[in-house]
Structure 1
Amino acid sequence: MNPLLVTLAAAIVAGFSTITLLPASADAAEPPGYSGETPEITGGPYATYQTVRVFEAPLVPLRQWIDEGGRIVAAMEETDNIKKPVASVTLHGTWPETGSVRRLEMSDGNFVLEKVLENDFPDLFRYQVWNFTAPAGRNIAYAVAQQEWTALEDGRSELTWTYSLRPRLALMQPFVQRFVRNDMQPLMNDALDVVREQAGAVFGPGTLATQ
């Protein structure tokens, strides 16, 4: 498997969603700890994808329902190559407050670190992912993502989910962007489609009529 693609898949995280495409390994690296240092977020090049969905539900109860149930992570269908987190340990602060850091353990034994950069409920959640324990992690410096929510005038809610990967070398950006287009894009879209359908069944048109 291409080590670049392996690394990039490890970076698809969303405060409420973190996955990896790393093969199972019997000698995964030791779990990372938080030293108080986080990679500096710099200008490009980044490989970026952005997707937008409108939900038939009011913003605050929708956000609470999604966050409390971990709906988006649950909607991501796991395959032989795409793994979900199986455990998390808070290393600093109180998750998901701004500045808090946690370690996520994947089902194949690898780890990443996540830091909340900004949490302005219900409008914005922004986070950074780094310290991939897989050997291929040397190919990517970090990932930055955000979910930006907007309350629409008709009572519905709009989510704009942006995910950006920072290659360690600028010359790798076109290859990383191709992976984002071919792999991350359908993964993110399919998960949001499932959650939107679930939200419609839970809240229904009657919920909007009372707003």
Structure 2
Amino acid sequence: MITNLAPPPGYAPSDPPPLGPARGLVSRVEEAVIERPLSEVVAAVDAARLEDWIDGSGSLPGVRGTCVLRGERFDAPGSRHMVFLTDGTTVVEQVLDKHRGPDGYGFRYQVWDYSTPAAKPLRYGLGAFAYTPLDGGNTHVRWTYAFELRPDRFPGLLGPRLGGWLLKKALLDGAYAQWMRGSLARLKAIAER
């Protein structure tokens, strides 16, 4: 796997779309318990490369590498990177906010600039990770992924309610759920090593 790739020739960075109200998003939540203390899990997450833990074994692509577009690394709020997927497509992600303390660790990030035609109905994605300490020295991980549909493309042109329901049934409850679960299983394995 390769990290530190370069943007495709002619790539012009775009600003992220403005965030809409949370009630307009179609979301999926997956959770896992990692049998390690919070501090060890956070250290493992900080050290892991995205391509090591994002699952590409199902119908959705994995990660081939990344390229930092803004900031020294993809870590602090405002930092941005391009993600190169194993199917040859790319997305851009930006950290929105981050919290680290004894009560937990978490961050939110926005995803946009999808190069795959399959994502044309999506205006943007919004991801959030929350790591919380549990009794017994374990850590609970909650990963939320949500999308805002474009109102001028199917299924968004059917309205947020029906279009969102179709997106959830066609993608989020199927291939996307499998991809998120597989990725969390990989992250758990990395942190428990």
Regarding TM over 0.5, the answer is: yes
Q: Which has the larger helix fraction?
A: 1
For the Cα contact (< 8 Å) 1:72–1:195, is it kept in 2? no
Long gaps (5+) in structure 1: 1-28, 203-211
Q: Displacement of 1:30 after TM fit?
A: 5.9
Q: TM-score, normalised by structure 2?
A: 0.76
For the Cα contact (< 8 Å) 1:34–1:101, is it kept in 2? no
For the Cα contact (< 8 Å) 1:129–1:144, is it kept in 2? yes
Structure 1 residues 102 and 198, CA gap change in structure 2 (3 angstroms): closer
Instruction: Provide the rounded CA distance (Å) in 2 between the counterparts of 1:195 and 1:103.
Output: 20
Aligned residue for 2:168?
A: 177
Instruction: Provide the rounded CA distance (Å) in 1 between the counterparts of 2:10 and 2:82.
Output: 8
Secondary structure of the 1:123 match is strand
Residue 88 (1) aligns with residue 66 (2): yes
Aligned residue for 2:105?
A: 123
Aligned residue for 1:150?
A: 132
Structure 1 residues 87 and 199, CA gap change in structure 2 (3 angstroms): closer
Range with greater deviation from structure 2 (187-196 or 114-123): 187-196
1:38-187 superposed matches below 5 A? 38-43=16-21, 44-70=23-49, 73-74=52-53, 76-79=55-58, 81-94=59-72, 95-121=74-100, 123-168=105-150, 169=156, 170=160, 171-178=162-169, 179-187=171-179
Instruction: Provide the rounded CA distance (Å) in 1 between the counterparts of 2:10 and 2:163.
Output: 27
Long gaps (5+) in structure 2: 1-7, 151-155
Structure 1 residues 53 and 131, CA gap change in structure 2 (3 angstroms): same
**Number of positions where the alignment pairs a residue of Structure 1 with one of Structure 2:** 171
Instruction: Provide the rounded CA distance (Å) in 2 between the counterparts of 1:151 and 1:98.
Output: 23
The code of the aligned residue for 1:175 comes to L
Percent sequence identity over aligned pairs: 22
Q: Displacement of 1:31 after TM fit?
A: 6.1
For the Cα contact (< 8 Å) 1:125–1:146, is it kept in 2? yes
The code of the aligned residue for 1:105 comes to F
